Amino acid sequence: MKQMNRTMVTMLLVLVFVTMAVAPVSLAKKPWEKIKIPELNPIQMPAYERVELESGMVLYLAEDHKFPLVELSATIDAGSFYEPADKIGLAGMTGTVMRSGGTTSRNGDDLDELVEARGLRVETWVGQSSGGAYLSAMKEDTDLGLELLADILRNPAFPEDKIKLAREQEKASISRRNDDPMSIARREGMKAVFGADHPMARHAEYATIAAVTRQDMIDFHSDWFHPDRMYLVVIGDFDSQEMVGKIEAAFAGWEKATVPLPADPEIPEFPRTVNIVDKDDLTQTTVIMGHKGIRADDPNYAGVQVGNRILGGGFATRLFNEVRSRQGLAYSVGSSSGTGWRNPGLFMAFTMTKSETSEHATEAVLAEIQKMITEPVTDEELEIAKDGILNSEVFSYDTKREILDRMVMFERYGYEADFLQKYQEQVKAMTKEQVLEATQAVWHPDQMTIFAVGSYADWDGDFTEFGPVTMVDITIPEPTMEVPLATPASLEAGQALMAATADASGGQAKFASIDSYSETTVLQANIQGMDMTFTIEKQVVFPDKVHTLQKTPFGNMTSVIAGDTGWGTGPMGDKPIEGEDLADAKEELQTDMLGILRNMDAWTFQALDPQEVEGKMCNPVYATGVGDDYRIIYIDAASNQVVMVEQPGISPMTQAPVTQKVYIDEYMETDGLTMPKTMRITYDDELFGTGTVESFKANVEVDEALFTK
């Protein structure tokens, strides 16, 4: 026992000496802590002059003679807020075609060449709450640049070919909008919080894009683009007085608006809802939760900005540290403060988690928001958040253009000119108590609408603990075609027209007797500006077997449909054909012209009004009843042969819906049948390619081994 006591005493003495030796080291400042970090410079307002012209146009001019460059940034009181609900997409398309389509005196292609040759940059756009234009030019090209900018803003031509291109771009965007779960959650969440019909939440559909005409663009431009709705920031190497004169001359005669801007629609107050998008192809869940926030001129603005920096507006936040790092519930997690400049913003938190922790992760995020409104933040959190905001603000306004563009926004939305400086001072002086007061006033976790996207069957809960669940359908509505209501007379006439077509091509009995066929077609197509040749060898055994060999410039590709199974092989390897792809391939056997004539009893044929197609008077027949899509078969009134077949299709380039038309230019006689020989294929009336049938043989023996994998 004594020996043990002596040992313990010795160890304690050693520990004391070690502690005494180490203490000065641990108390000493670390090397990086010795670095003196100066206070960040405040946001420096550039020297500028505000000038309002007689036309009502407002100029912000800031001379900068460092480089021989001039920048002009225009903001126009226009936007998708003002487009009709049945033509959503009009504003954005107008902004695009104003630039791409050129003007009444200079077409878009010529404009592109001139801009490129002179090293200019000229752009236009229309967003949700404003339109805009931008010009960058060397000093010696200032006059030319102003001339072009004024011409574009005042005299856009809106040519049909550029409108068509803009429409295709919009359709491609719509076709891809359900590819990303976060995009789905944000889009549908905005509708749940602000209302599906509110301009802040609504979005374009194929039908609204298709409804936009050239006249609509002309009218939109005429309604909203005027000098008294335009703010022009000018920065660079110029004399301000001289520049004012040049701008007045360039825009001389531009008429003021005749009606005031309409008030923004009110944002209704909606109760909390819980919404689910079930996508069984996902292995993780994306959840957003949110409610209407505030405008930036709300007294609580600075407080919730600081609070959000602590909650989830960056790295090392509460959501990041607790939900992602400590609990391991999220791949990504964060929040936004809920502030907006023109309208109240969306206070929102989000998380991306694995399916099995969907409900748990949502609970964890809501719990962290609840803490933010029930207890003060720590001193350390407060200082880190304040430093982060002040640092980022400085770098967000490090150019004259950024500062003056923001000044324009302040003027448009009714903010004081020194808003930024006052905001900085409020952040610097912010206390823990003020943060708590602000978050309590603005954030209400029990009112946050929840929107979750994922494989619902794999979740750890059904989300009913948050409220009644609504399953949301995000299917993109396909374009529809208006046709007259069928009558007994139109149905009888349609049936007779198709019977005459079958007789002109060999007879209904002949088509009905076809059990198999082989066909070789050569397709000449232009894809992204490149002319390509494809040879397609097809062998079919009715009702549900198809072997297709495609010889392409990229190598051979084979697809096989064998009843309820299918597969494809090609340069990229093997791939099964299943689900909708398999169903579509089998359906095609029944819905091409051979399939229609072979099994006419399965179809409903409705005669439409006569119509001329490429100089031939035709009797159109609206064919439905097999598959989900329609066909319009245009039958030559003189010969009863098919001139053209119109149907819904998918663009091979954009994957967006298109109207596909196949024109039959030449027929051939084979095996007692009159069959198409040469064809043209168009998508939305744009030529895609031409096909030539090199051989067609009916009721041939097909090797069954082709359908065995």
Q: What is the mean pLDDT of residues 607-618?
A: 96
In the predicted model, is pLDDT for residue 3 greater than 50? Answer: no
Distance between CA atoms of 361 and 504, rounded to whole angstroms?
Answer: 67
Dihedral of the CA atoms 195, 291, 423, 399 (nearest 10)?
A: -60
Tell me, what's the pLDDT at 36?
60
Give the model confidence (pLDDT) of 148-184 as tens digits: 999 999 999 999 999 999 999 999 999 999 999 999 9
Tell me, what's the pLDDT at 10?
38
Q: What is the mean pLDDT of residues 380-399?
A: 85
Tell me, what's the pLDDT at 457?
97
Q: Looking at 48-52, 342-346, 478-482, 693-697, which range is the least confident one?
A: 478-482
Sign of the CA dihedral 45, 46, 47, 53?
Answer: negative
Strand partners, 650: 657
In the predicted model, is pLDDT for residue 40 greater than 60? Answer: no
Residues in the chain: 709
CATH class given for the domain over 49-186+198-250: alpha beta
Q: What is the mean pLDDT of residues 361-374?
A: 98
In 325-398, alpha helices (H): 358-372, 379-396
**8 A C-beta contact, residue 687 and residue 672:** no
- Residue 509 corresponds to which amino acid? A
**8 A C-beta contact, residue 400 and residue 67:** no
Tell me, what's the pLDDT at 364?
98
In 101-180, alpha helices (H): 108-118, 142-154, 160-175
**8 A C-beta contact, residue 365 and residue 304:** no
Sign of the CA dihedral 423, 429, 431, 434?
Answer: negative
Q: What is the CATH number of domain 488-707?
A: 2.50.20.10
Distance between CA atoms of 448 and 688, rounded to whole angstroms?
Answer: 49
**8 A C-beta contact, residue 477 and residue 660:** no
CATH class given for the domain over 274-471: alpha beta
**8 A C-beta contact, residue 351 and residue 362:** yes
In the predicted model, is pLDDT for residue 39 greater than 70? Answer: no
**8 A C-beta contact, residue 102 and residue 108:** yes
Tell me, what's the pLDDT at 37?
56
Kind and range of the H or E run holding 494: helix 488-504
- CA–chain centroid gap for 536, Å, is 35
Quickly count: other Cβ atoms within 10 Å of residue 671's Cβ.
14
DSSP 563-629: TTEEEEEETTEEEE--HHHHHHHHHHHHHSHHHHHHTGGG-EEEE---EEETTEEEEEEEEESSSS-
Percent of the chain with pLDDT over 90: 85
Distance between CA atoms of 687 and 680, rounded to whole angstroms?
Answer: 7
Give the model confidence (pLDDT) of 307-341 as tens digits: 999 999 988 899 999 999 999 999 999 999 999 99
Tell me, what's the pLDDT at 46?
85
Mean of pLDDT over the chain: 92
How far, in Å, are 512, 532, 641, 642 from residue 494 at the CA level? 19, 38, 14, 14
Distance between CA atoms of 358 and 286, rounded to whole angstroms?
Answer: 8
